[in-house]
Amino acid sequence: MTDSWWKKSVVYQIYPRSFADADGDGMGDLRGIIDHLDHLAELGVDVLWLSPVYPSPQDDNGYDISDYQDIEPLFGTLEIFDELLAGAHARNMKIIMDLVVNHSSDEHPWFQESRSSKDNPKRDWYWWRPARPGMDSGTPGAEPTNWGSVFGGPAWEHDEKTGEYYLHLFSKKQPDLNWENPEVRQAVHAMMRWWLDRGVDGFRMDVINMISKDVSLPDGRLNAGSAYADGSAAFIGGPRLHEFLQEMHREVFAGRDGLLTVGEMPGVTVDEARLHTDPERGEVDMVFQFDHVWVDRGPDPWLLVPLQLTALKAILGRWQAGLADVGWNSLYWNNHDQPRVVSRFGDDSPAHRAASAKMLGTVLHLHRGTPYVYQGEELGMTNHPFGGIDEFRDIEALGQYRQAVELEGRTPEEVLRVLRARGRDNARTPMQWDDSPHGGFTTGTPWLPVNPNHTEINARAQRADPESVFHYYRRLIELRKTEPAVADGDFTMLLPHDERLYAFTRRLGATELLVIGNFSGVEARAEIDGWEGAELVLTNLERPAAGLTLQPWQAVVYRRAV
Ligand code: NOJ
DSSP 96-152: EEEE--SB--TTSHHHHHHHH-TT-TTGGGB-EEPPPTTS-TTSTT-SSS-BBPTTS
What residues does ligand 1 touch, defined as CB less than 6 Å away?
Answer: 60, 63, 100, 170, 206-207, 336-337
Ramachandran angles phi, psi of 540, nearest 5°: -95, -5
Whole-number pLDDT of residue 544: 64
Q: Is 138 left (phi over 0), alpha (psi -120 to 50) or beta?
A: left
Whole-number pLDDT of residue 342: 98
Alpha-carbon distance of 540 to 469, in angstroms, equals 9
**Total-model pTM:** 0.98
> Which residues lie across from 403 on neighbouring strands?
none
Q: Provide mean pLDDT across the span 216-223.
A: 95
Closest CA to 482 of 511, 516, 517: 511
* 545 has a pLDDT exceeding 80: no
The yes-or-no answer on residue 206 being catalytic is yes
Alpha-carbon distance of 174 to 159, in angstroms, equals 14
Mutate to test the pocket of ligand 1, among 63, 232, 330, 422 (most ligand atoms within 8 A of CB): 63
Q: Provide mean pLDDT across the span 402-408.
A: 96
Parallel/antiparallel/unpaired status of strands 286-288 and 260-264:
parallel
Alpha-carbon distance of 167 to 235, in angstroms, equals 12
- Average predicted confidence (pLDDT) for the chain: 97
| CA 453 – ligand 1 centroid, Å | 27
Residue nearest atom 4 in ligand 1 by C-alpha distance: 337
User: pLDDT category, 224, cuts 50, 70, 90?
Assistant: confident
* Catalytic member of 64, 98, 157, 264: 264
Whole-number pLDDT of residue 1: 37
Alpha-carbon distance of 229 to 219, in angstroms, equals 8
* Catalytic member of 143, 206, 337, 348: 206
Atom number, ligand 1, closest to the C-alpha of residue 336: 5
Mutate to test the pocket of ligand 1, among 50, 60, 338 (most ligand atoms within 8 A of CB): 60
| CA 105 – ligand 1 centroid, Å | 13
| CA 63 – ligand 1 centroid, Å | 6
The yes-or-no answer on residue 535 being catalytic is no
Residue nearest atom 2 in ligand 1 by C-alpha distance: 206
Render pLDDT for 488-520 as a digit per residue (tens, 0 to 9): 999 999 999 999 999 999 999 999 999 999 999
Q: Provide mean pLDDT across the span 189-207.
A: 98
| CA 445 – ligand 1 centroid, Å | 25
| CA 351 – ligand 1 centroid, Å | 34
User: pLDDT category, 225, cuts 50, 70, 90?
Assistant: confident
Atom number, ligand 1, closest to the C-alpha of residue 60: 7
Atom number, ligand 1, closest to the C-alpha of residue 396: 7
With a CB cutoff of 8 Å and minimum separation 6, the contacts of 88 are 37, 48, 94, 95
Which stretch of 182-186, 226-230, 246-250, 386-390 has the lowest confidence by average pLDDT?
226-230
Q: Which residue has the higher pLDDT, 226 or 3?
A: 226
Report the 10 Å Cβ neighbour count for 235.
Answer: 24
Atom number, ligand 1, closest to the C-alpha of residue 337: 5
Mutate to test the pocket of ligand 1, among 14, 98, 207 (most ligand atoms within 8 A of CB): 207
Residue nearest atom 6 in ligand 1 by C-alpha distance: 63
Closest CA to 50 of 91, 7, 93: 93
Render pLDDT for 269-310 as a digit per residue (tens, 0 to 9): 999 999 999 999 999 999 999 999 999 999 999 999 999 999
| CA 461 – ligand 1 centroid, Å | 32
Half-sphere exposure of 227 (CA within 13 A, CB side): 22
